[in-house]
Amino acid sequence: MNLPLKLYSFAPFDRAARVRWTALELGLPLEEIAVDYVAGEHTQPAYRQKNPFGQVPLIETGQSSMTQSVAICQFLAEQHPAAGLVPALTSPLRASWLSWLFLCASDLDARSFQVFNYTRLRPDADKRADAIKVVAPLLQVLETHLADRDYLVGDSFMLPDIVLGQELVLLGLCKALEEFPNLVRYRDRLGDRPAARASGLFALLQQT
């Protein structure tokens, strides 16, 4: 892979944060390219040529480009297996790793986003309350799972922790974790990692 990796993003909290954090964990040099959301740069033909969905994150490796935040993270983690973010194909942890990763990338992502949307982007108290009810059962399962564990999978930090960590920062910004103390403790432990700190994601929690 030709480096540095180019990463297109809007803001420190968007889904590019997962890619930034993953790259930092892997020690990969990144060139960040800010896409102006307010000006609608992502809707313009020049950006749509790069990503027809008009979304971030997008990475360019020099050889290819790629979208879908969690797919990008998995791609990078698999390129650097020694970092331990991804278990080997034959590892007994693989099934659990995939299950948690996809839970975070799909159901949890979609539900958390609605909370963020109705709290921060398009504030609406009733819709926010409904969105919190919808995400709560998933958070409760995670709360129980993480009661006596430091990480989602096995006993070491892996990619699903990055994706969940980013969701928990968003939910924290929305004050939606009051009933989930284990998740708050887990998120704050993740935030102590040097790469997490360097990503700028967790600093947002200090600003609220």
Ligand X SMILES: N[C@@H](CCC(=O)N[C@@H](CS)C(=O)NCC(=O)O)C(=O)O
Provide, rounded to whole angstroms, the least separation between the CB of residue 162 and ligand X: 13
In whole angstroms, what is the distance from residue 140 CA to residue 146 CA?
10
54 forms part of the interface with ligand X (CB under 6 A): yes
Of residues 93 through 112, those in contact with ligand X by CB under 6 A are none
167 forms part of the interface with ligand X (CB under 6 A): no
In whole angstroms, what is the distance from residue 146 CA to residue 70 CA?
21
Provide, rounded to whole angstroms, the least separation between the CB of residue 106 and ligand X: 9
Of residues 8 through 37, those in contact with ligand X by CB under 6 A are 14-15
In whole angstroms, what is the distance from residue 128 CA to residue 136 CA?
12
Provide, rounded to whole angstroms, the least separation between the CB of residue 42 and ligand X: 6
Q: Could you tell me which of 121, 124, 78 has the C-alpha nearest to residue 98?
A: 78
61 or 68, CB closer to ligand X?
68
Provide, rounded to whole angstroms, the least separation between the CB of residue 149 and ligand X: 25
143 or 164, CB closer to ligand X?
164
Q: Please select the residue that binds ligand X; options are 22, 69, 166, 199, rule is CB under 6 A.
A: 69
Q: Please select the residue that binds ligand X; options are 7, 23, 28, 56, rule is CB under 6 A.
A: 56
23 or 143, CB closer to ligand X?
23
105 or 143, CB closer to ligand X?
105
Longest dimension (CA), the chain: 49
68 forms part of the interface with ligand X (CB under 6 A): yes
20 or 42, CB closer to ligand X?
42
Q: Which pair of tokens denotes residue 14?
A: 């968007």
In whole angstroms, what is the distance from residue 75 CA to residue 101 CA?
13
**CA–CA distance from 123 to each of 115, 119, 126, 128, 130 (Å)?**
9, 5, 9, 8, 13
Terminal alpha carbon distance of the chain? 39
